[in-house]
Amino acid sequence: MSTQPQPEHAAPSPEPGPSRVRFWMVCALILALALPLQLSVDAGLFPDVLNPYYLHLLTIIGMNIILVASLNLLNGYLGEFALGHAGFMAVGAYTAALLATKALPSAAALPPVLGTCVILVVTLGGAMLMAAGIGYLIGLVTFKTVGDYLAIITLGFNMIIVNAIQNLDFVGGPRGFTGIPKNTNFLAVAVCALLTLGLLRNLIQSSFGRVWVSIRENAIAAELMGVSIARAKNWAFTIAAAFAGLAGGLWAQNQQFITPRSFDYIKTTEILVMLYLGGMASLSGSILGVVAYTLLMELLRNLLSAFAPQLAEWRMLISPLILIIIMLTRQTGLLGNREWRWLRPRQGA
């Protein structure tokens, strides 16, 4: 294996026309399924088929899609190697938790559905803004470097954020933040994930976002074309951080309990595994990677606990092995640089 084939970069040039299935149709379908699902699980209908556990899995998948797709912006489209995504997630989670517990009234004091919506919008908006602000500041520093050093610096900031939270007593310090109201449900996560995907898809295909791919392909050529590299990179970093904050805000209000340690380097690695499993520079890959990884892990957990309970913990070895095997056999991941047709923009539009 002396000469590896170069990954098929650049746009997939002679594309077949987009399919008849459009992005909004997929969104409508998912929402049309999610709404009755959420309602019937909440009402406790069909407890045998509609186990809340499945809904919980879907919720996790939705939040992970937001995380992975936004990291793909940096690691896939921009072509940098950022290692600090969990740090921004932590910022979002703690901001949302603070807003939900300290600043806002509880959902019970407000009208039932509308109140939760308002709380969600405020907390998630705050989480995104805070994460974006911190991401912007960190990006100013980070993008003075490239390559390996950028990876180290982003990781360093992840550690610093976690360390800072551990030293803040009013958010619980190392003991964690407890008593966050449960405002997030599967429906909210589904809406946020679809919004994220739609926004990222449009951004990446816009002239604003194509600059990122041009930087990845050849930074010097892009600079000669008049691209302000520092500004474009910082935009990407800020946007990715904002979405990581969104996922964190959803996470905090779903788990109801967060600790700084759950946002350290191990979480970042988990996001990376899903990203590389799915494929770089592909939103379809991000979706597929998250779904495949989550289902595989749950399947292994169930299989092992059913047939070999003493080996149940050994599935922790599977996830790093998957990562190694992907890298050794298929470096572009399952769907690297390719998109499902419904995620592509309309030609000539």
Partner 1 sequence: MDTIIQQLFNAAQLGAVYALIALGYSMVYGIIRLINFAHGDIFMLGGFIGLLLTTRFGWMPFYLLLPLAMLLTALVGVAIERVAYRRLRNAQRMSVVITTLGVGIFLENLVRLTVGPETRQIPARLPSAPVVWLQQHLGAFVTWDKLLIILISLALMAILWLVVNRTLIGTAMRAVADNKDAVPLMGVNLNLVIAVTFAIGSALAAAGGIFYGQAYSIDPYMGIDLGWKAFIAAVIGGIGSIEGAVLGSFLLAGVEVITVAYLSSNLKNGIAFGLLILLLLVWPWGIMGKPTLKKV
Q: Which residues lie near partner 1 (CB under 8 A)?
A: 1-4, 7, 75, 81, 141, 144-145, 147-149, 151-153, 155-157, 159-160, 163-164, 166-167, 220, 265-266, 269, 272-273, 276, 313-314, 316-317, 319-321, 323-324, 327-328, 331
Q: Cβ of residue 337: shortest distance to partner 1, in angstroms? A: 13
Cβ neighbours, 10 Å, residue 144 = 11
How far apart, in whole angstroms, are the C-alpha atoms of residue 131 and residue 270? 20
Q: Cβ of residue 24: shortest distance to partner 1, in angstroms? A: 34
Which of 42, 313 has the CB closer to partner 1?
A: 313
Which of 180, 280 has the CB closer to partner 1?
A: 280
- The amino acid occupying position 28 is A
Which of 61, 82 has the CB closer to partner 1?
A: 82
Q: Cβ of residue 245: shortest distance to partner 1, in angstroms? A: 21
Which of 121, 164 has the CB closer to partner 1?
A: 164
Q: Cβ of residue 153: shortest distance to partner 1, in angstroms? A: 6
Which of 1, 114 has the CB closer to partner 1?
A: 1
Which of 25, 327 has the CB closer to partner 1?
A: 327
Q: Cβ of residue 224: shortest distance to partner 1, in angstroms? A: 10
Which of 167, 202 has the CB closer to partner 1?
A: 167
- Pair 229, 215: CB distance under 8 Å: yes
Q: Cβ of residue 248: shortest distance to partner 1, in angstroms? A: 20
Q: Cβ of residue 150: shortest distance to partner 1, in angstroms? A: 10
What residues contact 146, with CB distance under 8 A and at least 6 apart?
80
Q: What are phi and psi of 94, to 5 degrees?
A: -70, -35
Q: Cβ of residue 145: shortest distance to partner 1, in angstroms? A: 6
Which of 160, 230 has the CB closer to partner 1?
A: 160
Here the tokens at position 22 are 């459009």
